[in-house]
Amino acid sequence: MRNIRKLGFAVCLITFCAAARTAGAGVDEGKQVFTDKKCITCHTLGDQKGPAAQLGGSLDHVGGKRDAAWLKDYLTDPKSKIPDAKMPKQTLTAKELDDLVAYILSLK
């Protein structure tokens, strides 16, 4: 029984450490994707406001409202989540998508 507890603790510790290591992974890269893809054109973020900001609205605090799976689905096919979405489908590599989602999730 004692060995089972030790094994369970070790598994939890390894899982926690792996999650902690990847939690910040991609955020800086995702911010660069956000900039490169000119997302600010249709969105606001803090005091930044694009010329068509009324189309996409604010991204402030969106990281606290959505999860990674929802964001990935939305970015690849916005109408799959919001049928009347004005946002176009995004053409991103898998890494760009992961990084952008990491960045958006950091906006809390």
pTM confidence score: 0.75
Delimit the domains of the chain by residue range: 26-105
26-105, superfamily in CATH?
A: Cytochrome c-like domain (1.10.760.10)
Cβ atoms of 62 and 104 within 8 Å: the answer is: yes
pLDDT for 4 equals: 56
Do 108 and 64 meet the contact criterion of CB atoms below 8 Å apart? yes
Tens-digit pLDDT string for the chain (108 aa): 555 555 444 444 344 444 444 455 699 999 999 999 999 999 999 999 989 988 998 999 999 999 999 999 999 999 999 999 999 999 999 999 999 999 999 999
Helical residues (DSSP H) of 1-108, grouped into ranges:
2-23, 27-36, 53-56, 68-76, 94-105
- Helices 94-105 & 68-76 angle (0-180, nearest 10): 130
